[in-house]
């Protein structure tokens, strides 16, 4: 059976008590050999979660990284620091960072370079806004984000990249794209990656209001390599129920 990636993004929505309960129950999960889990943890809890979750099939990562390598950047966290505490991946270009914190494709490009330099997997999020969706410019938006975010980076280094297609209008809204739209956009993303990188297999996940009810349908789309889950990743039962759908 094809491997699927089930990644959670805890955003700014957890505390020590929630994490404690999550970790205890997550440790008791049944063996799911064809699933690679991942959890994007807020910086302050990252070290603790790295130490308390068995990393054999769960990557622990960050939600952001500084675009600069090192130096006087008060309040920032470098790729080197993430590597130092054992983070294995890092979200980059999440729509909340692009739209609330004005993150540009150029700064995302720098972040990807810094992460790859420290052997941390960048999980690049791309996706169109509602307005772009309604104007039917989704594919042009995805192509521009991929081209600019990956510009100038050696294809060989990008072998470890992961991508999540996340329509902005579907994040945290309860709306999901149709299976046809998801298949079409993930396919397009893979074709675009192919034209930029050549013959490299990059996993492409879908994100946007995935939950235990709709996950079966979304994860059964052949080209979709997994899901990036925000809200439903805060409840360990729901998160594991989503992973169980891969087996159904």
Nearer of residues 8 and 19 to ligand PEP, judged by Cβ: 8
Q: CB of 242: closest distance to ligand PEP in angstroms?
A: 10
- Classify 96 in phi/psi space as left (phi over 0), alpha (psi -120 to 50) or beta: alpha
**Angle, alpha carbons 247-172-81 (nearest 5°):** 85
Q: CA 37 to CA 34: how far, in whole Å?
A: 10
Residue number of the CB atom closest to ligand PEP = 230
User: Taking the CB of residue 18, how many other CB atoms lie within 10 A of it?
Assistant: 15
Residues 78-103 as b/e (b if ≥16 CB within 10 A, e otherwise) read bbebbbebebbbbbbbbbbbbeeeeb
Q: CB of 72: closest distance to ligand PEP in angstroms?
A: 31
Q: CA 204 to CA 156: how far, in whole Å?
A: 18
Nearer of residues 67 and 93 to ligand PEP, judged by Cβ: 93
Nearer of residues 103 and 166 to ligand PEP, judged by Cβ: 166
Q: CA 74 to CA 40: how far, in whole Å?
A: 22
Q: Return the SS3 of 97.
A: helix
Q: CB of 210: closest distance to ligand PEP in angstroms?
A: 5
Nearer of residues 49 and 123 to ligand PEP, judged by Cβ: 123
Tell me which residues touch ligand PEP (CB under 6 A): 9, 11, 166, 171-172, 207-210, 228-231
Q: CB of 104: closest distance to ligand PEP in angstroms?
A: 19
Nearer of residues 61 and 207 to ligand PEP, judged by Cβ: 207
Structure tokens at 33: 């050999």
Question: Residues with catalytic annotation?
Answer: 94, 166
């Amino acid at each position: 059976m094809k491997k699927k990636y089930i990644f959670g993004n805890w955003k700014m929505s957890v505390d020590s008590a929630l994490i404690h309960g999550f970790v205890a129950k997550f440790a008791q999960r049944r063996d799911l050999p064809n699933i690679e889990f991942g959890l994007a943890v807020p910086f302050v809890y990252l070290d603790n979660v790295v130490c308390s979750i068995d990393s054999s099939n769960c990557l622990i990562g960050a939600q952001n990284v500084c675009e600069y390598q090192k130096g006087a950047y008060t309040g920032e966290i470098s790729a080197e620091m993430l590597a130092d505490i054992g983070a294995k991946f890092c979200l980059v270009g999440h729509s909340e960072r692009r739209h609330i914190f004005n993150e540009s494709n150029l700064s995302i490009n720098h972040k990807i370079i810094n992460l790859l330099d420290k052997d941390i997997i960048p999980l690049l999020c791309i996706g169109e806004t509602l307005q772009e969706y309604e104007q039917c410019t989704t594919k042009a938006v995805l192509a521009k984000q991929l081209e600019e975010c990956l510009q100038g980076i050696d294809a060989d280094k990008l072998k470890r990249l992961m991508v999540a297609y996340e329509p902005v209008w579907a994040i945290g809204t309860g709306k999901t794209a149709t299976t046809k739209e998801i298949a079409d956009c993930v396919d397009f993303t893979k074709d675009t990656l192919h034209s930029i990188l050549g013959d490299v297999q990059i996993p492409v996940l879908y994100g946007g209001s995935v939950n235990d009810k709709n996950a079966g349908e979304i994860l059964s789309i052949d080209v979709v390599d997994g899901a990036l889950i925000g809200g439903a990743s805060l409840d360990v039962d729901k998160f594991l129920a989503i992973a169980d759908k891969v087996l159904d």
